[in-house]
Structure 1
Amino acid sequence: MSNKAASVFFDQKFSETYDERNRNLSPIFKNLHFLLGLVLADLPVNAHILCVGVGTGEEIIALSAAHPDWQFTGIEPSVPMAGICKEKIQEIGLADRCTILNGYLSDVDQGANYDAVLCLLVTHFITDHNERQLMFNDMYARLKEGGYLINADISDNMSSPQFQSILEKWKVMHKHSGASEQALENMEKALATHVSVVSKDKMESFLRGAGFALPVQFFQSLLIRAWYSKKE
């Protein structure tokens, strides 16, 4: 799936049910958001955060509560998802601290303007590895010196002896969130065709290729891994 194909996948119907379907998985994302706050604790009090593929804005909502002076820019290619994000931001009174744009990373002003870039569960939708590397390069370029990139992706070595075992637990997780039996049966095929699941080593090679000397994995929940990388 290309970057633009992924935006089509997140259509109106999918977007409207996105938060509800993820509600049963909220312990995973609450933990990830909690750890994000710890990793980013040394940012300036007035930090500006860029959220790439911001979805319905859950990471903005989580971080804004703990950091009342942070500013956020969210970029989201799906028109329905961006609309829902804007509505939620407006409803909780964050509109003066947030700018939500419908588009792609290339639509964000170039230049090292951000103290942190967040890209959560986005780049595995980019199956072309050259395109994926360019996206990491572009996120690096938009960071200030000393800024952080935090990325979370579905990542594992699908040819390893352990993969089939963790895949079964992954299916249990999706069953818990309401996935159909057909979706569960097709789970491995979907991971092999609709997204690009690469190993931890390959993910870190993307990050090093963008210019980050020391990517650090700080989170894992089954197949979801997250890294922080600092621009030195």
Structure 2
Amino acid sequence: MNTPDSAFSDAAAVAGYAERTARLVPGLRDLQRMAALLLAERAPAQARVMVLGAGGGLELKVFAQAQPQWRFDGIDPSAEMLRLARAALGPLAARVAWHEGYVDTAPTGPFDAAACLLTLHFLAEDERRRTVAEVHRRLAPGAPFVVAHHSFPNQDPAMDRWLARNAAFAIANGVAPAQALGGIEAFKQRLPVLPPAVDEAILREAGFADVELFYAGLTFKGWVGYKA
């Protein structure tokens, strides 16, 4: 997960990443499978795919298993998360070129497809716009780009209502109530969440066409678009 949060450099926190994420993201495994299917609609059989925020390796593993001839460039600023990704992929890691850093660290491409899951919500609006534009610049014409992240109304009381729903989902999945409810204020202070209309506009303004919503799970939304 591509994030400036120092927690993703902490070995103990990183170790529980996969289990924690599965408890917090509705339909995580299906989200990853849907992303793989959407990329495969347009990407060739021997595609080169950029995965931004590749730390942890969860979506990389799903993509690699689904498409045995794809090769990947995985980009993430956390060395600990990249180590976790390599371990999670096992032998599949040989098909990934690893890059520690942000989008500027990614090769220039052109890539046949790109994905950025559970990552963009860490970026302020200006940096998010720049990142999406840099992804667009690295893609071949017509290449798909799949994104999914927190995206919901960011003004009270709607924001509080959605965060309470998110906390209730986490509690139902085994997260301690004190932890889930206590995280609401931290979430509001630390994550620069944007409403869905703005997130979709960012994709279009970067040059992506035929942008469509394909996933909605409480506070999470996912879109696919194509380089015009």
Alignment of 1:53-132 (within 5 A): 53-89=53-89, 91=90, 93-110=91-108, 112-127=109-124, 129-132=125-128
Identical positions, percent: 28
Cα distance 1:213–1:182, how it changes in 2: closer, same or farther (>3 A)? same
Cα shift readout 1:119-163 (whole Å, capped 9, x = no counterpart): 111111113x21111111111111110111111110111337655
Cα distance 1:103–1:161, how it changes in 2: closer, same or farther (>3 A)? closer
How far apart, CA to CA, are the structure 1 residues paired with 2:158 and 2:138? Answer: 37
The two structures have a TM-score, normalised by structure 1, of: 0.88
Cα distance 1:102–1:40, how it changes in 2: closer, same or farther (>3 A)? same
How far apart, CA to CA, are the structure 2 residues paired with 1:190 and 1:230? Answer: 34
The two structures have a TM-score, normalised by structure 2, of: 0.89
SS in structure 2 of the partner of residue 215 of structure 1 = strand
Partner in structure 1 of residue 224 of structure 2: 228
Partner in structure 1 of residue 21 of structure 2: 22
* C-alpha contact 2:26 2:217 (8 A) present in aligned 1: no
* Letter paired with 2:36: G
How far apart, CA to CA, are the structure 2 residues paired with 1:189 and 1:51? Answer: 30
Partner in structure 2 of residue 135 of structure 1: 131
How far apart, CA to CA, are the structure 1 residues paired with 2:186 and 2:175? Answer: 13
How far apart, CA to CA, are the structure 2 residues paired with 1:211 and 1:48? Answer: 20
Partner in structure 1 of residue 38 of structure 2: 39
How far apart, CA to CA, are the structure 1 residues paired with 2:169 and 2:75? Answer: 28
Cα distance 1:197–1:133, how it changes in 2: closer, same or farther (>3 A)? same
How far apart, CA to CA, are the structure 2 residues paired with 1:218 and 1:41? Answer: 15
* Letter paired with 1:17: G
CA RMSD of aligned residues (A): 2.1
* Letter paired with 2:133: N
How far apart, CA to CA, are the structure 2 residues paired with 1:113 and 1:65? Answer: 23
Q: For structure 1, which runs of at least 5 residues remain unmatched after alignment?
A: none
Runs of 4+ in 1 over 6 A off after TM superposition: none
Partner in structure 1 of residue 12 of structure 2: 13
Candidates 104, 123, 141, aligned match of 1:145: 141
How far apart, CA to CA, are the structure 1 residues paired with 2:20 and 2:157? Answer: 30
Partner in structure 2 of residue 49 of structure 1: 49
Structure 1 position 211, deviation (Å): 1.2
